Structure 1
Amino acid sequence: MTATHVYQSIARATHEHGVDTMFGLMGDANLFMVDAFVRERNGRFIPAAHEGSAVLMALAYAHVSGKVGVATITHGPALTNAMTALTEAARGHVAMVILVGDTPVDNPRHLQSIDQREVVKASGAGFEQLRSPATTGKDVARAFYRAQVERRPIVLNMPADFMWQEVTHDMQVLDVFTAPGGVAEGDTLDNAIGMIASARRPLILAGAGANHARDQLIALADRLEAPLATTLKAKGLFNDHPYNIDIFGTLSTPAAYDLIAQSDCIICFGTALHDFTTDRGKLMKDKRIVQIDVEPEAIGGGLHPDAALVADAGLTAETILWWLNEAEIAASGFTRELDVPALTAHPVGSQKNTEGFVNYVHALGRLEEALPKDRVLVSDGGRFMTEVWCRISAPNPQSFVATVNFGAIGLGLQEAIGAGLGAPERPVVMFSGDGGFMMGGINEFNTAVRLGLDLIVIIANDSAYGAEHIQFIDRKMDPSLTEFNWPSFAEVARSLGGEGVEVSSKYELESAIEAMTARKGPFLMELKLDPNDVPRMRI
């Protein structure tokens, strides 16, 4: 134990938790802590242009790297600027620690004073107070412990007037219980196995809560001769399996949707079964539903299953498999006649090319062929993304970052930067709409340039807020309020130090792909799209 200042103790305690990368924006209450993290602990600080961006970068870094994401911002408006990002992270169940400054305790009339506890609580994140200088080590340790156990961002609230007070640094790292939850047992398990054993057309559905259980779920599916499907957030989990029908729900192909409708038992691992997955319950009618999740609150939110097991996905799959073998239950035979290529082929639709525009579906098909195969795929929110989710593949769920937890747009580029730092040896591909890029991407593109990231940004630009545009069109109303005369995003990318190419025809698309292949840093491809000829959202 050594004498030090509180700001140094926070930096040291953060480093002692294995943190070598911190995202943030400096202000009055955190600047000295950041300086100590970099100069005294040899940490890496990634400065963002906006407080919300710092939180989003840490979110994607955590998702891709598997580490606890760490960000820091200052007080008052800095915290309110990060509310959307905090909510996105909380709803995504991402383990993060956000070191947030607070105004001095002895100055309640400070201009930037706000009840930060209540603000944080509204986002769904957890709140941990730095109680006194003497408890600094314990409070930092508690924040990291809670982030991992509760699987959500924890805000550590740090009063500015504590920072220069002297303390004795006391190293505190709390052990986190990391065993994979419980094993299913009892009458409910017996009932679930009975439903599965009697099913003639069973199907296994995996969500993000089952990403760790891939091998066990495949073993169970093979034993049952059941097709495999995933939710959006588990996209890529069953890549290359012969009976993988890809995304389950409103994003399914028409053929896969029909197959799901024919099934008589859905065995759901690690998914909360929200409305988009179940198509508002339509896909679950007249079926036995078995739901397995280690989180009790995930069960029964959208619909109540016939058997609910609060247990680990992998251990439960192994248990079910053991009992099926013990009872010598025959395989269902459901997969024997499946034509999986036909089940997973999304309809192409119209291939017309309006003068001055590129066909979006054609462009996505070419990009799927041409983009780096070892990519990390990041998608912003908005009208264009459902086609990206269906037509652009990801190597595995950890390599897929979808900013969908809060239904926001404008979060994609920030998370792409965090993903690039979480997987520095791999290229990151980020898709965004024009409105989303103007809202949140344009102010961080230069951050990617400064960091020298291998980042490919694809902008679907229909010069409008497309989801709203189509609603006016559907009601035969004037959509002009949704339309914008944006600047050239390709030119903006070049002015910010990157590379940019504009695409308004299939011939320019081929030239852009060649330029993308020869890129030397952050690269932006702007697809000019006809706002009246873009596929509709599938959710």
Structure 2
Amino acid sequence: MSDQKEYMHQSIAQAVRDHGIGTMFGLVGDANLFMANHFVNGCGGTLVAAVHEGGAVLMAQAYTQVTGDVGVATVTQGPGLTNCFTALREGVVARRPMVLLCGDTPVTAPFHPQNIDQREIVKATGAGFEQVQSPETASRNVANAFYRARKERRPIVVNIPSDFMWAEVKHQTIVLPPPETLTVVTEGPVHEAAIGMIASAKRPLILAGAGAVSARNKLIALAERLDAPLATTLKGTGLFSGHPNNIGFFGTLSTAAAYDVIAAADCVIAFGAWLHFLTTDRGELLKGKRVIQVNNSPSDIGAFYYPDAVLVADAGQTADNILYWLDEAEIPPSGFASELPPGDVSAHPRGDPKKSTSGCINFEYALDRLNETLPENRIMLTDGGRFITEVWCRVAVPDPNSFHMSDNFAAIGQGMQQAIGAAHGAPTRPVVLFTGDGGFMMGGLNEFNTAVRTNCDLIVIVCNDSAYGAEHVQLLDRQMDPSLTEFTWPSFAEMARSLGGEGLEVTSPEDLEVAIEAIRARKGAIVVELKLDPNNVPRMRM
């Protein structure tokens, strides 16, 4: 900065730029206006203006996941923060490192109408809290927040009293080194016991989760040495696509053929996976098997299932080590993967367009066609709703880093916001969002214009069954009237056009082909509304 007067709001904006952040998501108000303005006009940054504060936080979380940087959002005091509660909780559950710069009411104005104990609000979400203690400490507080976000893998809220904003300071550039990630291989009795279980297995299977994505090639080498099938959790989706040993998902999303393979296994070596209750089908898929869990996060061990052997270690190095000892002991390949049934074990039966009801499109068929025709280099996000498991099973992604769940907190209506954040994080790649009608009305509609305003290459597939589908099914199962869950919505396609984007409605296979051509010719954000029969949508695979 120059010899001109410097103020705290400028120092905070510059501290964000000092960390290499050029894009911030936010909604300005009294308590963060001048900081956001200086970030844009004094630091050369970009502010992506959201419609809702919670949307800004979700955008920053998706930006984190797509770029690997720490996403940054900013909101104002009081209701600006309380509007972020669900979004912050989503970030905590999803383990998204991000920083939220949040204004606070003046410390000298306890009766301010927007005053609330912001520390307690943040604490209740599980996010971290970093208080700006004085104007002089502001740049260090921001640096601490970035460090903590990476180390703690959660959102950190920087709380900034608004009466500090115009205090004179001398900016200090403070960037703390990133926390070290140790890569280790275990040793000792537990390690030896795990090697013994693997060596003696007749039908071993390798399972990979999100924590093992970077170890892909080493896991494949181990699988080929063992002649073992390869499977993934949901968050590892696409990791082994195209490999002959791949059986796809492990758990309730498995195909019938893959389920049979898993049932036949006598040993599961899980790398970077929680062993979530849906991954294990509530423990059923691991009964009668030896289970070795390899994870470098001790907090992930035993959260849902306690294995026979636990190795708190790096996935790739441990795979290398196992392979080394197999060779040393001259253990022969198991032959298990060679027994896989012919064809693609991970593929679900194709949808039938003839099963479409009047005025609606068959959902499975529509997903199969979209999977074939959507841009191959897509980033895919899914909102919450009963439709999502069918999407996960039928719409592929190039790799696990191209797939993002927006409902880790099991809240619908968060997909559009995260899709916008992903689009700004990877502007050269098309982003595809699958959302339900309820989720689109709850959180998608108010931010779709943000996608239009900020020129996102965004393809939105609205799965419209005119109902809150998960609840609709529960009422029907108990022979109860489902009308409370049913809605007559306006046309989402028309709404998209009124908000400045493109919109098409699909009620037949012929309409679907028209929509596919429109997707190929799109100029910006587009909504494709799939009209679905609420009584003919597959149940969730849970």
State the TM-score, normalized to the length of structure 1.
0.98
Aligned to 2:243: 241
Any unmatched runs of 5+ in structure 1? none
Deviation at residue 342 of structure 1 after TM alignment: 4.3
- What secondary structure, in the 3-state scheme, does the structure 2 residue paired with 1:443 have? helix
What's the offset of the Cα at 1:397? 1.1
Give 1:160's aligned residue.
Answer: 162
Name the counterpart of 2:336: 334
Alignment partner, residue 424 of structure 1: 427
Correspondence for 1:406: 409
AA aligned opposite 1:18:
G
Which amino acid is the alignment partner of residue 507 of structure 1? E
5 Å matches for 1:54-453? 54-339=56-341, 341-348=343-350, 351-453=354-456
The corresponding residue for 2:477 is 474
Alpha-carbon distance, 1:349 to partner: 6.4
Distance 1:248 1:361 in 2: 21
Structure 2 equivalent of residue 461 of structure 1 = 464
Instruction: Provide the rounded CA distance (Å) in 2 between the counterparts of 1:210 and 1:109.
Output: 51
Q: Can you list the C-alpha shifts for 1:227-265, whole angstroms capped at 9, x where unaligned?
A: 111111111111222211111111111111111111111
CA distance in 2, matches of 1:394, 1:246: 12
Q: Are 1:504 and 2:484 an aligned pair?
A: no
Secondary structure of the structure 2 residue equivalent to 1:457? strand
- Taking the aligned partners of 1:394 and 1:348, their CA distance within structure 2 comes to 18
* Matched AA of 1:312: D
Would the alpha carbon gap of residues 38 and 458 (structure 1) be closer, same or farther in structure 2, given more than 3 Å must change?
same
User: Equivalents in 1 of 2:185, 2:157: separation in Å?
Assistant: 32
Rounded Cα–Cα distance in structure 1 between residues aligned with 2:346 and 2:441: 33
2:454 maps to a residue whose letter is: L
Count of equivalent residues: 539
Note closer, same or farther for the CA distance 1:57–1:241 as it changes in structure 2 (3 Å cut): same
Report if the CA contact (8 A) 2:351-2:365 is conserved: no
Query: Helix, strand or coil: the match of 1:4?
Result: coil
Query: Partners in 2 of 1:327 and 1:239 — Cα distance?
Result: 31
Q: Note the C-alpha offset of 1:348.
A: 3.9
Does the 8 Å CA contact 1:243/1:340 hold for their aligned counterparts?
no
Provide the rounded CA distance (Å) in 1 between the counterparts of 2:160 and 2:540.
43
Whether the 8 Å CA contact 2:60–2:72 is kept in 1: the answer is: yes
> CA-to-partner distance for each residue in 1:474-519, whole Å, 9 max, x for gaps?
1111111111110000000000000000011111111111122111
CA distance in 2, matches of 1:224, 1:117: 52
* Conserved? CA contact 1:242–1:340, under 8 Å: no
Alignment match, 1:36: 38
- The one-letter amino acid of 1:224's match is L
Match status 1:483 vs 2:476: no
> 2:339 is paired with a residue of what secondary structure?
coil
Deviates more, 1:200-209 or 1:114-123: 114-123
Please give the alpha-carbon distance, in whole angstroms, between the structure 1 residues aligned to 2:259 and 2:80: 45
Shift of 1:182: 2.8
- Unmatched runs of 5 consecutive residues or more in structure 2: none
Corresponding letter in the other structure for 2:329: A
Cα separation, 1, equivalents of 2:343 and 2:56: 41
Offset at residue 298 of structure 1 (A):
0.3
Instruction: Quote the offset at 1:67 in angstroms.
Output: 1.1
Percent of matched pairs sharing the same residue: 62
- Whether the 8 Å contact between 1:148 and 1:176 is mirrored in structure 2 is yes
Q: Which amino acid aligns with 1:65?
A: T
Residue 177 of structure 1 deviates from its aligned partner by: 3.0
CA distance in 2, matches of 1:389, 1:345: 12
| Residues 413-472 of structure 1, C-alpha deviations (whole Å, 9 max, x = no match) | 111111111111111111001000000000000001011111111011011111111111
SS of the counterpart of 2:294? strand
Show the counterpart of 2:527.
Answer: 524
Alpha-carbon distance between aligned partners in 2 of 1:522 and 1:319, rounded to the nearest angstrom: 48
1:345, distance to aligned residue in structure 2 (A):
2.0
Structure 1: distance between partners of 2:366 and 2:309:
44
- Local SS of the residue matching 2:534: coil
Query: Secondary structure of 2:446's match?
Result: coil
Deviations 1:35-64 (A, max 9, x none): 111111100110000011101111111111
Q: Deviations 1:57-93 (Å, cap 9, x if unpaired)?
A: 1111111111111111112111111111111111111
Between 16-25 and 325-334, the greater mean CA deviation after superposition: 325-334
Instruction: Give deviations 1:373-398, integer Å, cap 9, x for gaps.
Output: 11111110110010000000011111
Q: Describe the SS at the equivalent of 1:401.
A: strand
SS of the counterpart of 1:154? strand
Residues of 2 paired with 1:26 and 1:411: CA distance?
20
Contact map agreement 2:377 2:430 (CA 8 A) in 1: yes
8 Å contact from structure 2 (residues 351, 362) kept in 1: no
What amino acid does structure 1 have at the position aligned with 2:348?
H
Secondary structure at 2:333's aligned position in 1? coil
Letter of the structure 1 residue corresponding to residue 471 of structure 2: E
Q: Secondary structure at the match of 2:91?
A: helix
Indicate conservation of the 8 Å contact 1:403/1:411, yes or no. Answer: yes
For residues 224 and 83 of structure 1, what CA distance do their matches in structure 2 show? Answer: 47
- The whole-number CA distance in structure 1 between the counterparts of 2:422 and 2:100 is 17
Counterpart Cα distance in 2 of 1:301 and 1:111:
43
Please give the secondary structure, in 1, of the residue aligned with 2:496: helix
Hey, what's the Cα distance between the residues in 2 that align with 1:109 and 1:508?
Answer: 58
TM-score in terms of structure 2 length: 0.97
The CA distance in 1 between the partners of 2:219 and 2:34, in whole Å, is 48
For residue 15 of structure 1, what is the amino acid of its counterpart? R
Q: 1:12-27, aligned counterparts within 5 Å?
A: 12-27=14-29
Contact 2:351 2:368 in 1 (8 A): no
Whether contact under 8 Å (1:125, 1:153) holds in the other structure is yes
Query: Aligned to 1:219, what secondary structure does the other structure show?
Result: helix
Change (3 A) 1:408 1:491: same
**What letter corresponds to residue 330 of structure 1 in structure 2?**
P
For 2:102 and 2:203, how far apart are their aligned partners in 1? 52
In the alignment, residue 377 of structure 1 is paired with which amino acid? Answer: M
Maintained 8 Å contact 1:255/1:342: no
| Deviations 1:158-181, CA, capped at 9 Å, x for gaps | 111111101111111111134443
Give the Cα–Cα distance (whole angstroms) in 2 for the partners of residues 147 and 327 of structure 1.
Answer: 44
